[in-house]
Amino acid sequence: MLKRILLALFICTAALPSHAEDGSRLWLRYDTVSVCPQIENDVESPTMRIAVNELSTFWHGGKVSLQLMADDKYYSLGKDGYTITAKDNVITLRSLSETGLLYAVYHLLRLQASGKDCSALDICEKPMNDIRILNHWDNPDGTIERGYAGRSLWKWDELPATLSPRYAEYARANASIGINGTVLNNVNASPDVLSYDNLKKIKALADLFRPYGIKVYLSVNFATPMKLGGLTTADPLDKKVADWWKMKVHEVYSLIPDFGGFLVKANSEGQPGPCDYNRTHAEGANMLASAMKPYGGIVMWRAFVYSPTDDDRAKQAYLEFKPLDGKFLDNVIVQVKNGPIDFQPREPYSPLFGAMPHTRLMVEFQVTQEYLGHSNHLAYLAPMWKEFYQYFPPSAMRAAAGVANIGDDTNWCGNDLAQSNWYAFGRLAWNPALTSQEIAEEWLAQTFTTDRRFLRPMTEVMLQSREAVVDYMMPLGLHHIFAWGHHYGPEPWCEIEGARPDWLPTYYHRADIEGLGFDRTTEGSDAVSQYPDSLAAVLNNIDICPEEFILWFHHVPWKYEMKSGRTMWDELCMHYQHGVDAVRSFRDTWTAMSPYVDAERHAAVLHRFEIQASDAVWWKDACLEYFRTFSHMKYPKGVEKPHFSLKKLKKVNLPIDNYTCPSAEMLPGFKK
């Protein structure tokens, strides 16, 4: 029998240095203990040291027993599942694995921090998804594609010799919400990421993350054998190419035995891939998967593909991948964005889900707010992701990816409230059955206060926030009418000489004197036919199509009567006004929360709300004034007159890059 290790053998301090309220502690703002609780644990390992130290430092209750179990019940829960029970003043955490026990510890601390009663616990948890992974779009030079929270966490020039303390903080935060994987680099990958010198740096991160149950993955460039190996081709059916990848994969696993696998963006937006050699995506993915197979690694092959076309971009991933169903090896997972275009504020689910029953699929969500106001706007995204699961059940998949919103800003995400989306992604990847409200309340209670006078109004703000963004940006199914390049502000009129049609807003909104919206019915592009027959019949009929998607699937006449009895034009105007009004109310609610929030974070978040309120007016005025040049209709009662002329709005030129977000305060008159 192993020696029983008690809490007293671990570090336990009555008081730790106070922390500035700068957002750096995320949702892990636990109070340290003054009296060490008794903790029983029979296992000595790096993971168990973390688990016991978390309890010894932060658990304010009584005795806790940590037990590894090896019976049928725990085999059925898998290596990440666990139970938590309370009996006779002892809380017992049990799991098949040490990582499962660590997850149980964080669950217990979450209950405590949320103000829950822990005296009569009977909890059994098992994650829905085996793979719960963050995709970082970080570049070797420290920039982040679609990053709005500073530069990359990864200091490549310092690795492997110097490990930033933030790496462990990052791993701890992820483990606390059940995330078990991280892709370290951008899907637009540099071949150099697989050089031996870089692999040694990645090994240093993998070694640090391992005790937290986190595997590392890499995005790879399909043409890497040509850059690093000196080959003249990357043809996946060329034996020399396959042999080169086998050699490189062996090198990776010799350094990182638990390496997770590769993420591949191929034949998309100029990236190389198997189609360059008249091979299929399946042939390219399978070549890599064969090299990974002996080591237990996987290949996540992105289905985000589209080519220059005057047809419907929304159809292209389906057309390219559905014929390949059943042709991928079992260690290939096709990674599909939740919608058929590109992380829009609202999209129908991608029709690839449900269309490839013989292929492993995983959903890709975007946590970073590329199309949702960057880190300036509050857009709590759990309702968006729950909307996806409403149409496609999570039980059909066993993996979920989120494009990270994390940078080296002190508060990690640029906006303190944006931390909620990192948290929500992890919680939903673990348990998609959780409600948006449950997750919001958990996060708010841990991040700010358990005071109901704060939780009630701010939970309501969180739950309404994404719909408000949809209303003041692109209501009723409008999509992709953002400014060129940076995707921050409105530019529905955008025309760039020589640009591909499917990169321009006019391709999507198709405004004309008759109406607005993209006809994807059987009389139009026929994108509706990619969905199951029962759903397609609903989407194809303008009279019963859900109005949140009506302009996605239909070119709707300006005077078409909506369910409210209003014309489509009036309904459009009212949605934009509702979005503006909602954000103003969010700002006012947050202002009233000052008694319950520290001054530093209250001021920082209030500043973001001021920007968002200005930006909402900007979006409303720009879009409605532009669309009015086609409808020639008056604004309905209750809709504010525009602040600026369309001519002036078209001259707005935002100096944006990956590190700073613009503010609508640049527009004279939009200041509070």
d(CA 530, CA 510): 21
Residues of the chain with pLDDT under 50: 1-18, 657-672
| Active-site position among 311, 342, 598, 640 | 342
Residue at 550 is within a domain: no
Nearest to 376 by CA among 97, 118, 663: 663
pLDDT for 19: 56
Residue at 548 is within a domain: no
Classify residue 356 as exposed, middle or buried by CB count within 10 Å of its CB (0-12, 13-18, 19+): buried
| Active-site position among 80, 283, 370, 387 | 370
Residue type, 393: P
We report the CATH number of the domain holding residue 52 as 3.30.379.10
83 and 36 within one domain: yes
The residue out of 414, 447, 480 marking a domain boundary is: 447
We report the CATH number of the domain holding residue 485 as 3.90.1330.10
291 and 420 within one domain: yes
392 and 276 within one domain: yes
370 in catalytic set: yes
Cα separations (Å) of 157 from 9, 205, 625?
38, 13, 49
211 and 280 within one domain: yes
- Residue 138 DSSP code: B
For 471-536, the three-class secondary structure string (H helix, E strand, C coil) is HHHCHHHCCCCECCCCCCCECCCCCCCCCCHHHCHHHHHCCCCCEECCCCCCCCCCHHHHCCHHHH
| Active-site position among 31, 192, 197, 269 | 269
Q: Is the peptide bond before 357 cis (omega within 30 degrees of 0)?
A: no
The residue out of 125, 150, 167 marking a domain boundary is: 125
Q: What does the pLDDT look like over 424-472, one tens digit per residue?
A: 999 999 999 999 999 999 999 999 999 999 999 999 999 999 999 999 9
d(CA 170, CA 197): 23
Q: What spatial distance separates the first Cα and last Cα of the chain, rounded to whole Å? A: 69
Residue at 22 is within a domain: yes
Residue at 456 is within a domain: no
54 in catalytic set: no
Residue at 72 is within a domain: yes
d(CA 449, CA 251): 48
136 and 119 within one domain: no
184 and 64 within one domain: no
We report the CATH number of the domain holding residue 423 as 3.20.20.80
Residue at 526 is within a domain: no
117 and 203 within one domain: no
d(CA 53, CA 61): 15
Residue at 542 is within a domain: no
111 and 142 within one domain: no
422 and 482 within one domain: no
225 and 108 within one domain: no
* Neighbouring residues of 272: CB distance < 8 A, sequence distance ≥ 6: 221, 222, 223, 234, 266
Residue type, 564: S
Query: Could you tell me the residue range of the domain that residue 225 belongs to?
Result: 131-447
311 in catalytic set: no
79 and 193 within one domain: no
Q: What does the pLDDT look like over 6-19, one tens digit per residue?
A: 333 333 433 333 45
The residue out of 76, 106, 125 marking a domain boundary is: 125
pLDDT for 219: 98
pLDDT for 657: 44
Total structural domains in the chain? Answer: 3
Residue at 66 is within a domain: yes
137 and 112 within one domain: no
Cα dihedral across residues 86, 89, 94, 99: positive or negative: positive
